[in-house]
Amino acid sequence: MVRKKAKKIMGHRTLRFTLLLTAAALPAAAIADETADAQPERDYLPSDIIVTGERGGYVIDDGSTATKTPTPLIDVPQGISFITEDQLEDQSIRQLNEALRYVPGVSLETGEGHRDEVFIRGQETTADFYLDGLRDDAQYYRPLYNIERVEVLKGANALIFGRGAGGGAINRVSKTAQTDDIFAGAQASVDTFGAFALLADVNKPLSDAVAVRLNGTYEEFDSHRNYYEGRFIGISPTLTANLGPATRLTATYSYDDDQRVVDRGVPSFQGSPLRGYEDTFFGDPDFNRSEAEVHIGRVRLDHEFALGLNANATVQYANYDKIYANILPTGTDGSVVTLDGYEDSTGRENLIGQANLVWETAGDGFASTLLLGLEASRQDTQNSRREVFFSDNDAQRINTPLAEQITVPAFTLAPVSRSRESTLETLSFYLQEQFEIGDHLELVAGLRWDRFDLDTVNLISGVQGDRVDERVSPRAGVIVKPVEQLSLYASYTESFLPQAGDQFLLISPGDERFEPEKFTNYELGVKWAPLEEVLVTAAAFRLDRTNTTAPDPNNTGLVVQTGESRVEGFEVGAVGSITDFWQANLGYTYLDGELRTSSDFGDAGARLQQLPRHQVTAWNRFDLTEQLGFGVGVIHQSDQFASFSNTVELPSYWRVDAAAYYTISEQISLQLNIENLFDETYFPSAHGNNNIQPAEPFSARFGVRMEL
């Protein structure tokens, strides 16, 4: 205990030192340099894929999230998908999980009805979510009312994001205050189930150098599912202040309050989702509830020391308070359904400090962009669980007749059966070089060193877990540009995940001895801008996951670290303004993945869970006149297994969406969005074999947008 206490004190001092360095170093430099001449803004983005006009369009040219440097997207050696604010508005999308349905290579897990959970290139995650490049890893539903765009960066890449992100990472880019514009807007919408949303966005410069912006929303949820309801409140003020000709301060805060029914879907029957009960709620509407309160505050300082020498520093604090309770189905024989239940609560505090220095130089026939960065974080988590006991002999599971209206027998909550605390401290340093040779060749290489210190304690048994990992994660890429509008690339990246899992709630004494899991991504790709406002991409990849724990094949009863899986595939996409009246975001992904050896996930040869072999996403907007337009969207996923057992199959499906837009004036426009136009019955996601989510049938949303 003395050693652990001393280690904790050293860890706290390291984190405080790093955060102080992050928060204080750049202001000091800014003050010292505040009399420097203002430097002209660098036009580093290629004009061939810049979208102009009032609408930003569906294409972006900013690849900085993938490199932490000012890099055009066409020069990033990595597959990236994105959904811009315009596309989100055209599709009337309010939640992150809704937006991700239109991203190829991403499939949704139900998240037990209370959180975002996805598969990226076959890798499941509840934690690889980021806000402006900083980790946002608690389990909750993420809103989009204050978001400018969503980016999905695919393939392992620890150099930029640190641990996890084995299949990729999902980053949300926040709306920020603009010092050069004043505007105000409001939106209202209601759908045929009775769900509605109200949104407001106001930006006001206070002077030539300072501006504030406020985004807010109130939503109420509803759907075809019996008893489903909920509401969401979100408010997000931001401040932008130009502290000098070369220094900018950005401060943001968001408060999100989400309350909704926890809907675990339907069980399976004879290897498929249970049919005929798509509206049936397999729970107790008074007990199945989720409440999440999220506070995220962030301050970022950007400073330009000289032309080509820039730095930024960010400090982010996040507080998450989450509780959910549910009765859920665990199986059916066609006449009765088995029910289980529990209540779970989690409290988490994250403190993250990050600083980056970017140095751009150029000479005769070469150019260099050097990134130096550091990041430190501390995460404190408390988690507890209480089981449901049914009145029939205090059973934890009980059978009840299968019917359109499920009767849940009387139950009580038992005393706390699981209680645990964890403290996670990380320290990272990273280095990346982007070296251009002439006009046709660019090399990208970098290393990240992470120190990962996890302490956990089981408060029921008193058993403690303690694991320290130090890892170096490489990144390497080659980009060949025959012409400015075309890039060909090859890349190699790695990432790692400690054995405590992506939420780091508890590490058992048995798992302490195991090395982190390793993700290795090999990728070949092409990015091409055939038209001024169109970007076409394609990539072929292999993603290997190793160091997964597994039962000893020699039947010793011990656990070994021999589990492996592999995903191979390719994807193609096109996004942008194809003509003056046609905007599109189109994608196709082929994925083939299996367990190469037996592991804790399943037996060797099993296909990875919820990995559709074929996936199609296509959204189109056509503007017939300046006033009238319409949209058409298509989603397709082929058959997929609900779990590694490969015994329950989610059938393939096609879904067609539609929209219509009418502009009354410069200030007012109307919108109609239709989801599942042909009223198809399908099951897009699951959480294991017996929590399968039926999709919404035909529904329409009517909206009005006002701008000042």
Residues 235/257, Cβ–Cβ less than 8 Å: no
Rounded-to-integer distance, Cα 165 and Cα 557, Å: 31
Write out pLDDT tens, residues 271-297. 999 999 999 999 999 999 999 999 999
Residues 61/576, Cβ–Cβ less than 8 Å: no
pLDDT attached to residue 681: 96
Task: Give me 456's structure tokens.
Answer: 């956990």
Residues 211/205, Cβ–Cβ less than 8 Å: yes
Phi first, then psi: give them for residue 510, nearest 5 degrees: -70, -35
pLDDT attached to residue 509: 78
Rounded-to-integer distance, Cα 342 and Cα 396, Å: 9
Beta bridge partners, 424, equal: 379, 454
* Site of tokens 């900085």: 64
- One-letter identity of residue 283: G
Distance set, CA 667 to CA 94, 217, 499, 673 (Å) = 22, 20, 54, 20
Q: What is the DSSP letter of 694?
A: P
Q: What is the DSSP letter of 28?
A: H
Rounded-to-integer distance, Cα 708 and Cα 262, Å: 39
> Minimal CA–CA distance to 221: which of 290, 324, 159, 165?
290
- One-letter identity of residue 116: D
**How many Cβ atoms from other residues are within 10 Å of residue 10's Cβ?**
12
Phi first, then psi: give them for residue 21, nearest 5 degrees: -60, -45
pLDDT attached to residue 7: 42
pLDDT attached to residue 37: 38
* Site of tokens 């991409």: 537
Residues 633/91, Cβ–Cβ less than 8 Å: yes
Task: Give me 51's structure tokens.
Answer: 């979208």
Helix (H) or strand (E) holding 517: strand 517-528
- One-letter identity of residue 394: D
Distance set, CA 242 to CA 36, 137, 247 (Å) = 14, 31, 6
Write out pLDDT tens, residues 527-542. 999 998 999 999 999 9
Task: Give me 361's structure tokens.
Answer: 């130089």
- Write the burial class of residue 120 (CB in 10 Å: 0-12 exposed, 13-18 middle, 19+ buried): buried
Residues 441/481, Cβ–Cβ less than 8 Å: yes
pLDDT attached to residue 445: 97
pTM: 0.92
- Three-state SS string across 655-677, please? EEEEEEEEECCCCEEEEEEEECC
Residues 113/326, Cβ–Cβ less than 8 Å: yes
As separate numbers, helices (DSSP H) first and strands (DSSP E) second, the chain gives 5, 37
Task: Give me 551's structure tokens.
Answer: 């039962």
Distance set, CA 531 to CA 50, 440, 446, 575 (Å) = 11, 20, 32, 11
* Site of tokens 């992904």: 589
- One-letter identity of residue 325: A
Please list the ranges in the chain whose pLDDT falls under 70: 1-55, 392
Rounded-to-integer distance, Cα 167 and Cα 551, Å: 24
Task: Give me 35's structure tokens.
Answer: 């009399």
Taking the domains of the chain in order of start, what are their residue ranges? Answer: 2-171+179-707
CATH class of 2-171+179-707: mainly beta
pLDDT attached to residue 2: 32
